[in-house]
Structure 1
């Protein structure tokens, strides 16, 4: 006669099999993505030294001790070799770095020209985001897949969280002697790969969840909705955005890559001198001149040299970029996002008077904005210097090992001619119960919930309502 404990044990293992089934599905869909993200992310962590090495002839100057020439002379050097319009000027982050000048060519392409600060000589050019790290970032964010990339990132990140949650449940000690902190068996045995997978997952699972959550701000649904909600309720927007100054239809993201909290920020407008009012009021002043607007110098504007002196006096961190005014009502905008979050800053100047219209930094962000910016900075390996980068490299290596061990373990277990989906428990309601729990989590991330629903419906139909065959 069965003991009273038998039904409870049976229920426990029935639930275990149901969780295992969903863990398998999560791994089936997400492992290729997280392996790719870990590999490209590990490379991107050291983007700056790699770029300086690969593009040394463009990014590093030999005569760093020579006093810099005026910014206007450097722009003139670029204008001598290009017929396009300059839209961005970036100061060097390092003492031996070159000036980077963004140009919108007449055919619409965006090019970055590298200029020696001392001689104003053009060292060469690359397409915008055409550096090695720029390509790696596009690979990491799946931009090469087109408009669906950010949706795939959101789905993969959400499934990665489900993968870790179900994996921790499967790992949880149930009286076994191994596979908790130690690895049993030999590499030729499935037991070895199962234990390696479980132990590795426990060590890197928390970091995987952190990277998945902090990668979500770039996603198409969750990221955009949270950004709009945070900024609309003053949780993310710098408080200085909503002040009584006229704002244009242009956004900071049009000419630079802002911090996540600044993606919705509009640009203020300059006080147009009386002689310029007719041009400003004709409906084209703030919007003409192609995708970037009218970038031609305006009569009475103070010029790039005077603007730089103003920005330097305000103490912006090295490496800041200046977006040039667009049209008579445009402004000079300097922005910098260094590794030190406290030095993030965006400053807008009236292009005629040089008056500071808005000056915003990390301390001005709302609570949600500060929290998410911190997470993004850690995600990029910036916040805690070398320690941050080393931890991320170890995490990426652990994630790759997690993926490899999961694939080998599945390969050794799979049946001939099948994909090896874990068997259904005797009572299908266990699978349904786990499915409902996962769907609750899917409410937080809509695309994840939708994909989870699709997989659940297909699995239910394939098994005739989660019944054993």
Structure 2
């Protein structure tokens, strides 16, 4: 953002008001310095991931797409047998085709303890090929989006970036406020050769996309390490990790749902029930009977069946379609086929429902194509904002200087701003820690510069 007091775009009246403007501008600069590289990366990977099904179906068409036939599909056990013939190992998961033109997926563990997904034509049971589990191009994009490839420290940086993004929007709106200006409020002036063009592009784009940035930052927080983990514990309640108020009156194992497969955020801590054989000689019902039971219970197409791995294991059938109300997790006793736990979105508590709604919208699922297109446009706008901020800074920075906005003449104006920043730090612990680091940096910059402005006027 530019300083109206120095650019002729308006006047900040009064020394106190001018000092407060400088303080906000200074912290907007720091927030941008920290956040913009992450915003660009998150926006590009997020824009791609919005169309994950479409992109994966195109890139991996030979594995994921089949010709629709007017015939019954073969039994899951037959598809699993074909997969094991092609890739020896132990089957751990069967994924029902989500659409008539989609293949079935059998996930297995090899002798080398590696996970492989084998794709099978559900109409004739022929193996189409295999990939490492979560080896599709969209799983790669997802891991890049979350920085999972770079370890827990890098993932913690996303939590920090999310909190500072909210600060960036709040200070940006304050800096954008017209204060008597007419140009550059909702329109872009001049040409790309002039700095005012990049200032207006940054400010006006931020005005329209700021709310989306805040929404994405807040709804992305549940996946964070520190804040997300604590809120997850609170939202789950205390009843075996299931939402508060839901009675789970069956024997439970120590295994969590998230240890077996990717589940909904609310149920990550939920424990898996145990099968109990009334007779020691009882036989498991088998995958075909389990699939038939899930069909009778009305699970949405595309459900997963996690196979029991011990005498007390269960058949677990989770499904997470775009429609939140169709989200469901069912556990079947492997001997009787009875549903031990049948949990859906409508069973979640108020906090769980709101968090899942936010996550679903964040991923572009809740409102169909409109949801995807809106967030895709927002991602492009965020990249444009980030690029315009970098260009604007480059055009105004002094030679061989960082170009930090000027220090207010009265340091007391920082008190109100600091109170807001500290409140944000208490809500988001990692953001608070980074705030202390930025305060130390600001103190060092002021000492080195002798408190003199580091930005030249327009």
**TM-score (norm: length of structure 2):** 0.93
Secondary structure (helix, strand or coil) at the match of 2:443 reads helix
Separation in 1, partners of 2:143, 2:219 = 17
Kindly indicate whether residue 446 of structure 2 is the aligned counterpart of residue 455 of structure 1. Answer: no
With over 3 angstroms needed to count, the CA separation of the structure-2 counterparts of 1:309 and 1:89, relative to structure 1, is same
Secondary structure (helix, strand or coil) at the match of 1:463 reads helix
Q: Residue 464 of structure 1: CA displacement?
A: 3.9
Paired residues, what number? 442
Q: Residue 442 of structure 1: CA displacement?
A: 1.3
Q: Residue 233 of structure 1: CA displacement?
A: 5.4
With over 3 angstroms needed to count, the CA separation of the structure-2 counterparts of 1:136 and 1:246, relative to structure 1, is same
With over 3 angstroms needed to count, the CA separation of the structure-2 counterparts of 1:7 and 1:210, relative to structure 1, is closer
Encode CA deviations 1:211-259: one digit per residue, 9 max, x unaligned. 111000000000000001111357x943576422110011111221101
Q: Unaligned regions of 5+ residues in structure 2, if any?
A: 1-10, 453-458
Kindly indicate whether residue 421 of structure 2 is the aligned counterpart of residue 438 of structure 1. Answer: yes
Secondary structure (helix, strand or coil) at the match of 1:80 reads helix
Name the residue aligned to 1:151: 156
Kindly indicate whether residue 393 of structure 2 is the aligned counterpart of residue 410 of structure 1. Answer: yes
Secondary structure (helix, strand or coil) at the match of 2:417 reads helix
Separation in 1, partners of 2:285, 2:412 = 72
Separation in 2, partners of 1:39, 1:64 = 38
Separation in 2, partners of 1:422, 1:242 = 57
Separation in 2, partners of 1:466, 1:13 = 20
Equivalent residue in structure 1 for 2:25, among 20, 26, 36: 20
Matches within 5 A, 1:10-159: 10-159=15-164
Q: Unaligned regions of 5+ residues in structure 1, if any?
A: 1-5, 277-298
Separation in 2, partners of 1:96, 1:42 = 25
Encode CA deviations 1:48-89: one digit per residue, 9 max, x unaligned. 011111111100112533321111111111121233211110
Deviates more, 1:266-275 or 1:85-94: 266-275
Name the residue aligned to 1:252: 257
Give the conservation status (yes or no) of the 8 Å contact 1:435–1:456: no
Separation in 2, partners of 1:214, 1:465 = 39
Separation in 2, partners of 1:265, 1:466 = 54
Separation in 2, partners of 1:221, 1:242 = 28
Name the residue aligned to 2:8: none
Name the residue aligned to 1:194: 199
Separation in 2, partners of 1:66, 1:239 = 44
Name the residue aligned to 1:288: none
Name the residue aligned to 2:374: 391
Separation in 2, partners of 1:329, 1:459 = 59
Name the residue aligned to 2:171: 166
Name the residue aligned to 2:237: 232
Q: Residue 431 of structure 1: CA displacement?
A: 3.3
Alignment RMSD, CA only? 1.9
**TM-score (norm: length of structure 1):** 0.91
Kindly indicate whether residue 250 of structure 2 is the aligned counterpart of residue 267 of structure 1. Answer: no
Name the residue aligned to 1:285: none
Q: Residue 150 of structure 1: CA displacement?
A: 2.3
Give the conservation status (yes or no) of the 8 Å contact 1:71–1:305: yes
Deviates more, 1:427-436 or 1:66-75: 427-436
Separation in 2, partners of 1:242, 1:31 = 46
Secondary structure (helix, strand or coil) at the match of 2:399 reads coil
Separation in 1, partners of 2:354, 2:427 = 18
Give the conservation status (yes or no) of the 8 Å contact 1:74–1:120: yes
Separation in 1, partners of 2:43, 2:227 = 21
Name the residue aligned to 2:212: 207
Give the conservation status (yes or no) of the 8 Å contact 1:17–1:423: yes
Give the conservation status (yes or no) of the 8 Å contact 1:237–1:369: no
Deviates more, 1:434-443 or 1:102-111: 434-443
Give the conservation status (yes or no) of the 8 Å contact 1:150–1:218: no
